[in-house]
Amino acid sequence: MVVKLTLLPVLYWVALAQSGRIVSTAPSITEMLYALGLGERVVGVTTFCRYPPEAVSKPKIGNYLRPDVEAILALRPDVVLVEKSMLRGPVRLPSLQLHVIELDDSTIDGICSSILQIGRLAGVTARAEKLTDFIRRDLALIRQRTSGLPRKRVLFLVGRTPGRIEELIAVGRSSYLAELVRIAGGNNLFDDSRAAYAKVSIEEVLARKPEVIVDMSDMAGTNGVTAKQRQAVVTLWNRFSSVPAVRDHRVYAVSPDIYVVPGPRVAQAARQLVRIIHPEAGF
């Protein structure tokens, strides 16, 4: 059994926006909805939607990678908000349709555009404009504060074999995280990779001599990093003493919570990166 996902005409959305029932299929979309004051209209979220805390108690529609179509239908949504990458093909059920709004939050500009799109369609345009203006001003301030500082070579790892420095997945050029690294005063170590996230070898890492390593690979599902977790990550890297980041004690274990959700907290993520890459900037 499959359900047909159809893009919702704008006029239809406008007609129901003021009281419409909304299902969010991504943590970033959930954060946008709540940041725009639309939390009461949200009737379903994924199991990965943990912020803000109010979202945790909402009915679940499966996880981010595999939303449960029947669970979505049971919530009788007027609209289902999805990330662009999630529209992988039609899903059909006899005589039933899900009305879908597609959002592209894969870049910082895309995050702001998605917030504005939701704001316009939900009748809270002024609120959306205020939020995106704040995000852009904050990012511009961060960029200004780091513009005169030396650019550090930054390896940002989003994945690897748990407890081992193997099967490394690094941030590539097309990830919004690479944008954040640049704003925070760094040079992303694998900016020559076109992929958003690239599989790289430890040999490549050693050859490129990162000056800062940001590693969130062992932190899945956490909202913070304990001293024990932090030390475990540092210990893993200590065997590579020729790497400048290791030699200079610039290996940082971070929680994925604020980094892997391309939403309204993007400027907060940039500020955290500045504190890691350029603590002298005073953020």
User: What is the full DSSP assignment across 24-89?
Assistant: E-SHHHHHHHHHTT-GGGEEEB-TT--SSGGGGGSPB-B-SSSB-HHHHHHT--SEEEEEGGG--S
pLDDT digits 0-9 by tens, 232-263: 999 999 999 999 999 999 999 998 888 989 99
- The reported pTM is 0.88
CA dihedral (103, 68, 219, 39) positive or negative: positive
Which position has the higher pLDDT, 195 or 220? 195
pLDDT greater than 90 at residue 13: no
> Three-state DSSP class for 198?
strand
pLDDT digits 0-9 by tens, 124-149: 999 999 999 999 999 999 999 999 99
Read off the DSSP letter of residue 261. Answer: -
pLDDT greater than 80 at residue 167: yes
Phi, psi of 21 (to 5 degrees): -90, 125
Note whether 61 and 70 are within 8 A (CB).
Answer: no
Question: For residue 155, what are the β-bridge partners?
Answer: 213
User: Cα–Cα distance between 35 and 23 in angstroms, integer?
Assistant: 15
Task: Indicate the residue type of 181.
Answer: V
User: Cα–Cα distance between 233 and 96 in angstroms, integer?
Assistant: 49
Which domains does the chain possess? 4-124 (3.40.50.1980), 146-281 (3.40.50.1980)
pLDDT greater than 60 at residue 43: yes
Give the model's pLDDT for residue 90.
41
**Which residue from 153, 81, 73 is spatially nearest to 117, judged by alpha carbons?**
81
Residue with tokens 């029932």: 21
β-pairing, 79-83 with 97-103?
parallel
Q: How far apart are the first and last CA of the chain?
A: 52
